[in-house]
Protein backbone atom coordinates (compact mmCIF):
# COMPACT_ATOMS: atom_id res chain seq x y z
CA UNK A 1 0.00 0.00 0.00
CA UNK A 2 1.86 3.08 -1.21
CA UNK A 3 1.42 6.33 0.67
CA UNK A 4 3.10 9.63 -0.09
CA UNK A 5 2.39 11.07 3.34
CA UNK A 6 0.55 10.04 6.50
CA UNK A 7 -0.26 12.20 9.51
CA UNK A 8 -2.16 11.56 12.74
CA UNK A 9 -2.18 13.41 16.06
CA UNK A 10 -3.89 13.62 19.44
CA UNK A 11 -3.58 16.31 22.12
CA UNK A 12 -4.26 15.50 25.75
CA UNK A 13 -7.16 17.28 27.41
CA UNK A 14 -4.98 19.87 29.18
CA UNK A 15 -3.69 20.97 25.75
CA UNK A 16 -0.01 20.95 26.73
CA UNK A 17 1.23 17.81 24.92
CA UNK A 18 0.47 16.23 21.57
CA UNK A 19 1.40 12.83 20.17
CA UNK A 20 2.05 13.03 16.41
CA UNK A 21 2.80 10.41 13.78
CA UNK A 22 4.27 11.69 10.52
CA UNK A 23 5.32 9.66 7.48
CA UNK A 24 6.91 11.79 4.75
CA UNK A 25 7.08 9.21 1.96
CA UNK A 26 10.39 7.73 3.18
CA UNK A 27 10.47 7.59 6.98
CA UNK A 28 7.82 7.57 9.72
CA UNK A 29 8.34 9.01 13.22
CA UNK A 30 6.19 9.27 16.30
CA UNK A 31 6.81 12.59 18.07
CA UNK A 32 5.88 14.11 21.40
CA UNK A 33 5.28 17.85 21.10
CA UNK A 34 5.10 20.34 23.96
CA UNK A 35 2.44 22.83 22.92
CA UNK A 36 2.14 25.03 26.02
CA UNK A 37 4.41 28.01 26.65
CA UNK A 38 6.66 29.74 24.18
CA UNK A 39 6.10 30.18 20.49
CA UNK A 40 5.18 27.31 18.21
CA UNK A 41 5.71 23.71 19.09
CA UNK A 42 8.66 21.98 20.59
CA UNK A 43 9.59 18.35 19.91
CA UNK A 44 10.42 16.73 23.24
CA UNK A 45 10.77 13.16 21.96
CA UNK A 46 10.98 11.11 18.77
CA UNK A 47 10.67 7.40 18.03
CA UNK A 48 11.53 6.05 14.57
CA UNK A 49 8.64 3.84 13.54
CA UNK A 50 9.55 2.76 10.01
CA UNK A 51 11.68 3.36 6.96
CA UNK A 52 10.49 2.54 3.47
CA UNK A 53 6.99 1.94 2.20
CA UNK A 54 4.35 1.15 4.83
CA UNK A 55 1.83 -1.67 4.41
CA UNK A 56 -0.82 0.42 6.21
CA UNK A 57 -2.82 3.50 5.39
CA UNK A 58 -4.34 6.49 7.16
CA UNK A 59 -7.34 4.46 8.34
CA UNK A 60 -5.04 2.03 10.15
CA UNK A 61 -3.57 4.73 12.42
CA UNK A 62 -4.72 6.02 15.80
CA UNK A 63 -3.05 7.93 18.60
CA UNK A 64 -4.49 7.46 22.07
CA UNK A 65 -3.75 8.69 25.57
CA UNK A 66 -4.10 6.28 28.48
CA UNK A 67 -6.73 6.86 31.19
CA UNK A 68 -4.40 9.02 33.30
CA UNK A 69 -3.13 10.92 30.24
CA UNK A 70 0.47 10.25 31.24
CA UNK A 71 1.22 7.92 28.31
CA UNK A 72 0.47 8.39 24.64
CA UNK A 73 0.67 5.61 22.06
CA UNK A 74 0.73 5.20 18.31
CA UNK A 75 -1.55 2.35 17.25
CA UNK A 76 -1.20 0.65 13.86
CA UNK A 77 -4.05 -1.71 13.07
CA UNK A 78 -5.22 -1.53 16.69
CA UNK A 79 -1.79 -2.58 18.04
CA UNK A 80 0.37 -0.14 20.03
CA UNK A 81 3.76 0.32 18.33
CA UNK A 82 5.31 3.32 20.06
CA UNK A 83 4.68 4.92 23.45
CA UNK A 84 5.88 7.99 25.33
CA UNK A 85 5.62 8.08 29.11
CA UNK A 86 5.33 11.77 29.94
CA UNK A 87 5.86 11.19 33.65
CA UNK A 88 9.24 9.42 33.35
CA UNK A 89 10.38 10.56 29.90
CA UNK A 90 10.72 6.93 28.79
CA UNK A 91 10.20 5.92 25.15
CA UNK A 92 9.07 2.47 24.04
CA UNK A 93 8.74 0.67 20.73
CA UNK A 94 9.12 1.75 17.16
CA UNK A 95 10.80 -0.45 14.55
CA UNK A 96 7.57 -1.45 12.79
CA UNK A 97 8.07 -4.37 10.40
CA UNK A 98 5.58 -5.91 8.00
CA UNK A 99 4.09 -9.07 9.45
CA UNK A 100 5.54 -8.59 12.93
CA UNK A 101 3.88 -8.11 16.31
CA UNK A 102 4.48 -5.33 18.79
CA UNK A 103 7.12 -6.06 21.42
CA UNK A 104 6.13 -3.46 24.00
CA UNK A 105 6.16 -4.50 27.68
CA UNK A 106 2.71 -5.64 28.92
CA UNK A 107 2.81 -3.15 31.80
CA UNK A 108 2.90 -0.40 29.14
CA UNK A 109 0.30 -1.79 26.73
CA UNK A 110 -2.10 -2.74 29.56
CA UNK A 111 -2.51 0.93 30.46
CA UNK A 112 -4.36 1.41 27.14
CA UNK A 113 -6.83 -1.47 27.64
Q: What would the pLDDT profile of 101-113 be if each residue is shown by its tens digit? A: 888 999 999 999 8
* Number of domains forming the structure of the chain: 1
Task: Tell me if 1 is assigned to some domain.
Answer: no
Q: Is residue 48 domain-resident?
A: yes
Element (H, E) at 61: strand 61-65
Listed in sequence order, the residues at least 6 apart from 107 whose beta carbon sits closer than 8 Å to its beta carbon are none
**pLDDT level of residue 1 (50, 70, 90 thresholds):** very low
| Residue 61, pLDDT score | 98
Q: What is the pLDDT of residue 42?
A: 87
User: Is 75 among the domain residues?
Assistant: yes
3-state secondary structure of 109: helix
Average pLDDT over residues 81-108: 93
Per-residue pLDDT of 8-58, as tens digits, reads: 999 999 999 999 999 999 999 999 999 876 665 689 999 999 999 999 999
90 is in which domain, residue-wise?
6-112
Output the pLDDT for position 11: 97
pLDDT band (50, 70, 90) for residue 92: very high
Amino acid sequence: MAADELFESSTRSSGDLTGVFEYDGDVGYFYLYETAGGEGRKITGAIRVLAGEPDFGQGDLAIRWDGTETRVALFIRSQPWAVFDTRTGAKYGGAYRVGSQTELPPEITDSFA
